[in-house]
Amino acid sequence: MDIAFLLNGETVKLRGVEATRTLLDWLREERGLTGTKEGCNEGDCGACSVLVADAGGVRAQNACLTLLGQLDGRAVTTVEGLSGPKGELHPVQQALVEKHGSQCGFCTPGIAVALAGAHLEGATDYDERLAGNLCRCTGYAPIIRAAEAAAKAPVPDWFAPGKGAPEGTGAGPKSVDDLATEIMRRPHATLIAGNTDVGLWLNKQLRDLGDVIFLSDVAELRQHVSDEAGLHIGACVSIETLRGLLAEPYPHFAAMLARFASAQVRAAATVGGNIANGSPIGDTPPPLIALGARLYLRRGEARRVIALEDYFLEYGRQDRQAGEFIEGLTIPAQPDNLRVYKNSKRFDQDISAVLGAFNIAVEDGKVQSARIAFGGMAGIPKRAEAVERALVGKPWTRDSVARAQGVFASDFAPIDDMRASAAYRLQVGQAMLERVWLEGEGVATDVREVAP
């Protein structure tokens, strides 16, 4: 594969490059840019954070999950590229020194990169920006103090990630029609969008991906439109973009997405990828199912639309044929009755043990409709249909909730695994339903808000 991209202000052109080689390995082994560290090699620790710029803006990403084949026509800034032409430190770098924000220093380059990205945007949500950067030595207090100090300084004139990025070589499909044709020609190729899931096949399972098709340049798949019918979302819309789109119509859903991995992962991960992999613990399918989302599938020239819940057939099997791919989905316009709760061992950067989504409409004290879906309770994201039936038409009272809690076992038979036991999962699901009712009564239920 031939690619061209900008690296710390220098145009790099590579011919016949191994498209599935990680940016992390290439930086360290071919360019000697060892400031970008290898820590977890799965996108959890942030030690390999770099800035990636394209037409959509500048964002921090994990170099361990970014493949060379995704970089065509883009710009990459490593920690070595934060400083000025005469060695001037970036305000973030200077503040980390002055505020003692580094001890062993292993995590510091990734932290500096993540904070430089925030500084460029004028963002001050530091806890969120650093949720994907693990530091065990210093503790985060001096790092936050450094971020706050750096915020007072302007962005240096010489710091402009993405400026002067070269034209791409045109190696991958550029339109959804080209993509449909290419997939029909290579129906068993692996599709790579954000690579936050497939990347683990490479780094942890050491798999050879074989034939791959990169979706990076299919602009149509990154489009989104809101109209009277609802919100239409392309398959390659990032999770971070989705979070912004949902902030007004479904704020509870958007708030949950702040706990979807980290800023680095959300910037790369896509809505379509989170659905297509069929994971029973993906965070977007349950709320999307609760909202009645429709999925758009394409195979060659043929298109079809299915309810999202019907896409998941059983563990490891989805309703998608060879050569077929997800174009996007639609969330129908509706009043916001959605509540979404994520249960995991850590608040930030953790995989769900249980994720519950509740779309319950109440009028005149009675439940008029209910769509409830869970992740982590079965081999697929799944509706709680018996629970729904137990609620619809009944008074919206604690007694009705208690009766509905009693039928959870009719819908789900969870498994025991490293994240939670089956019994615990059922109890969490039941408690989540009660939480919907309690919040409707004005009771504080968020552990970060409840005071003794």
Q: Are 150 and 91 in contact (CB under 8 A)?
A: yes
> Which DSSP state fits 78?
-
Shared-domain flag, residues 116 and 66? no
Shared-domain flag, residues 178 and 263? no
- Mean pLDDT of all residues in 93-108: 94
Q: Considering Cα of 15, then 18, then 24, then 29, what sign does the dihedral take?
A: negative
Shared-domain flag, residues 76 and 142? no
Shared-domain flag, residues 65 and 98? no
Q: Are 380 and 313 in contact (CB under 8 A)?
A: yes
Instruction: Read off φ and ψ for residue 396, nearest 5 degrees.
Output: -85, 80
For 151-203, the pLDDT digits (tens) are: 999 999 999 999 888 888 877 899 999 999 999 999 999 999 999 999 999 99
Among 101, 116, 150, give the residue marking a domain's end.
150
Structural domain harbouring 377: 223-440
Show the DSSP H helices in 247-284 as ranges.
Answer: 251-257, 263-268, 271-276
Confidence of residue 150 (pLDDT cuts 50, 70, 90): very high
pLDDT of 138 over the 90 cut: no
C-alpha–C-alpha distance, residues 145 and 92, integer Å: 11
C-alpha–C-alpha distance, residues 270 and 97, integer Å: 36
Shared-domain flag, residues 185 and 111? no
pLDDT of 451 over the 70 cut: no
Shared-domain flag, residues 131 and 251? no
Task: Give residue 337's region: left, alpha or beta (phi > 0; psi -120 to 50).
Answer: alpha
Among 98, 127, 150, give the residue marking a domain's end.
150
Number of residues that this document lists for the chain: 452
For 256-291, the pLDDT digits (tens) are: 999 999 999 999 999 999 999 999 999 999 999 999
CB atoms within 10 A of CB 104: 10
CB atoms within 10 A of CB 208: 7
With respect to residue 155, please indicate whether it lies within any of the assigned structural domains. no
**What total of structural domains would you count in the chain?**
3
Shared-domain flag, residues 234 and 192? no
Shared-domain flag, residues 232 and 373? yes
Shared-domain flag, residues 201 and 331? no
